[in-house]
Structure 1
Amino acid sequence: MNETMVCAVGNVATQPVYRDLTAGASARFRLAVTSRYWDREKGTWTDGHTNFFTVWANRQLATNAMASLNVGDPVMVQGRLRVRTDQREGQSRTSADIDAVAIGHDISRGTSAFRRSGRPEPTGAGAPARPEPNWETPAADAAEPEPETPQRREPVAVT
């Protein structure tokens, strides 16, 4: 109930590693989150400290992360923060993990094309089939003028 939920914005630092386990799919990757600040003396934006998080994804999120993410991709990760301290070779090490609930490309830094993944078929012969909802827009009344379609904007290259 009282979990620390975070939203981290950064870059994929390692290629996602995928495992197909008996409990379901699992994937992990490292996320680099670098703070930026305005340096008044130089008059430019400057990179600050970089924090690294291990992001864990499970089930369908793991499968989709593996198919969608590459090193360097700008992403946003929402999930539960887990901070652990381990003793290794006489030294104390602290690590921060995020159990992801949602992962998405940060489209403020580029474009992305969404493709819906297929859902697994229900197991069991008695599972009822759900009808596809009617997504059609009702026909416009002849008396009402058609709304103007907005001009498509070309994506802006981000350097």
Structure 2
Amino acid sequence: MNETVLCVVGNVATRPVYRELPGGPSARFRLAVTARYWDREKNLWTDGHTNFFTVWANRQLAVNVAASVEVGQPLVVQGRLKVRTEAREGQQAWASADIDAVTIGHDLTRGTAAFRRSAKPETLPRPVARPEPQWETPPGEAPGDASVEAAAEAVLEGAMEGVADGQARTVVTGQQDARATMVT
């Protein structure tokens, strides 16, 4: 409940590392965030201190980061701040600032991007309680049979007449299940 949520703008400092874990996909990369300020004495913008954050992305966000993010690109990252400290034997204690990302996007004030919606993950098929239908074609009714082709031609001719009348129709042509939609 008492989390520190922040939004940072910076440049990608390291190549994203993508991993498939038991809990789902995960990706991480380092983000360099440099403060800029107006130096009145020099009369120009000056770079201040640079902070480095390790950005963690999970699930679908991790997949999209791996496909979209490259070193040097300007990003906007929003997420929860987590500061870790660790002391190892014989070494000086160190601290790490991590961001558990909720959303990541390219900074469009510094360039352009082409958005592509990602494909939805495949859902697992549900077990079917009904028996499987008989999929084999009965003997004498092969898909290339002349009677099936003649029936398909008759259906298509009827559909063309409907198009001439200003109607739109969807036609299912016999055994082959070939669909054609004609719109005027």
> What 5-or-longer segments of structure 1 have no aligned partner?
127-159
* SS of residue in 1 equivalent to 2:71: coil
| Larger relative contact order (Cα-Cα within 8 Å, sequence gap ≥ 6) | 1
> Using the alignment, how far apart are the partners of 2:48 and 2:91 within structure 1?
30
Return the letter of the residue paired with 1:54. Answer: T
CA deviations over 1:78-116 (Å, ceiling 9, x no partner): 001000110023411011000000000000111001000
Q: Name the structure 2 match of 1:112.
A: 113
Identify, as 1 or 2, the structure richer in helix.
2
> Using the alignment, how far apart are the partners of 2:122 and 2:12 within structure 1?
32
Cα distance, 1:122 vs structure 2: 2.0
> Using the alignment, how far apart are the partners of 1:94 and 1:27 within structure 2?
21
* SS of residue in 2 equivalent to 1:104: strand
Q: Name the structure 1 match of 2:47.
A: 47
Larger radius of gyration: 2
Q: Describe how 1:28-107 pairs up with structure 2 within 5 A.
A: 28-88=28-88, 89-107=90-108
Q: Name the structure 2 match of 1:123.
A: 124
RMSD (CA atoms): 1.3
Return the letter of the residue paired with 2:65. Answer: A
> Using the alignment, how far apart are the partners of 1:121 and 1:31 within structure 2?
31
Return the letter of the residue paired with 2:5. Answer: M
* SS of residue in 2 equivalent to 1:117: coil
Q: Name the structure 2 match of 1:137.
A: none
* SS of residue in 2 equivalent to 1:91: coil
Cα distance, 1:121 vs structure 2: 2.4
TM-score (normalised: structure 1): 0.77
Runs of 4+ in 1 over 3 A off after TM superposition: none
TM-score (normalised: structure 2): 0.67
Q: Describe how 1:15-26 pairs up with structure 2 within 5 A.
A: 15-26=15-26
Q: Name the structure 2 match of 1:154.
A: none
CA deviations over 1:111-153 (Å, ceiling 9, x no partner): 0010000001221326xxxxxxxxxxxxxxxxxxxxxxxxxxx
Cα distance, 1:31 vs structure 2: 0.2
Cα distance, 1:50 vs structure 2: 0.1
> Using the alignment, how far apart are the partners of 1:93 and 1:121 within structure 2?
42
> Using the alignment, how far apart are the partners of 1:90 and 1:105 within structure 2?
37
* SS of residue in 1 equivalent to 2:112: coil
> Using the alignment, how far apart are the partners of 2:29 and 2:91 within structure 1?
27
* SS of residue in 1 equivalent to 2:14: coil
> Using the alignment, how far apart are the partners of 2:125 and 2:9 within structure 1?
41
